Homo-oligomer: A and B are copies of this chain.
Amino acid sequence: MERAENSMRNDPVRAAGVTITDLTFSYEEEREVLCGVTLRIEPGERFGIIGPSGAGKSTLLLHLNGILTPGRGTVEIGGLPVDRESIAEIRQKVGLVFQNPDDQLFNLTVEDDVAFGPLNLELSSEEVSACVEEALAEMNLLGFEELSSHHLSYGERKRVALATVLAMRPEVVAFDEPFSNLDPAMVEHLIDIIGSLPATVIIVSQSILPVIASCDRLAVLNRGRLVATGSTREIASDRALLRHCGLDFHFYCDVCHELNLLQGGTDV
């Protein structure tokens, strides 16, 4: 899985910032799913949004490339407001990895699916092949090219979904629960990849430990409101806040501790 020199990583950084101002949205009239979310993400930052189930995280991400239209408020990508006119440009800049890989895969073979984005960018066929191979290698999917994406295991589909977006080399990559259904080795590898992407990265997740390992800053979303923003250290050590939002992960640490004791306290 280790690949020393890698063209995607060596690209000059082309990253756009994201500014969300007073974003409010509701699917149905009564229930507001997002209320006045204001957030500024710097270019090139790794930004994590954590929050309990149903907090509105996925809904927030869908606003980033104009799939949902805000009830009130605005979203800007690299200074460009997301609206009807700019939508095509926005979608080239922002790569979205959906929570459910089945929402994302529609071509017959894994290779076609990954090649779809680069082909739309009208790259030459060698460049397309290079992008595709690189993305597949990143996701440990070499050998899957000819398989049908409908016949893969869930985790494999998840990886293909990640590869389809990585192959496009977007300026902003937004991941919705990237770590779920992946095995630990893959999670670790993905954290590496996230660390080296030449883009702004936004991660929405409930798997707190990998988010902590990969993000510079975190925001906490609870019932559609942003309840805290801060450096990863700050947020991760505010146990009261986390517990209040159902995000207290110390219980994982307990499991680890117990095991470390078992092993006679191996080195960390």
Contact = CB atoms under 8 A, between A and B. Distances in A.
Nearest to A233: B262
Please tell me the size bucket of the interface on A: 35 or more
**Which of A99, A186, A236, A268 is the most central at the interface, judged by chain B CB atoms within 10 Å of its CB?**
A268
A102 B103 CA distance: 11
A230 interface: no
A180 interface: yes
A159 interface: yes
A260 B59 CA distance: 32
Contacts of A247: 183-185
Interface stretch (A63-71, A115-123, A251-259): A251-259
A206 B180 CA distance: 9
- Identify which of A28, A159, A256 gathers the most chain B CB atoms within 10 Å of its CB: A256
Interface in A219-268: 233, 236-237, 239, 242-243, 245-249, 251-257, 259-260, 262-263, 268
A58 B206 contact: no
Contacts of A257: 253, 256, 268
A216 interface: no
A246 B140 CA distance: 12
B53 A155 contact: yes
Contacts of A254: 268
Contact of A262 (B180, B183, B237): B237
Interface stretch (A124-132, A146-154, A167-175): A146-154
Nearest to A54: B153
B213 A255 contact: yes
A230 to B, nearest CB: 13
Given A27-B151, A58-B153, A246-B186, A253 B256 contact: yes
Given A53-B153, A254-B268, A99 B181 contact: yes
13 contacts: A52-B186, A53-B153, A53-B158, A53-B181, A55-B153, A58-B154, A99-B181, A100-B100, A185-B243, A207-B207, A210-B255, A212-B255, A253-B259
Given A183-B246, A185-B247, A257-B268, 5 more contacts: A53-B155, A57-B153, A59-B153, A100-B100, A209-B252
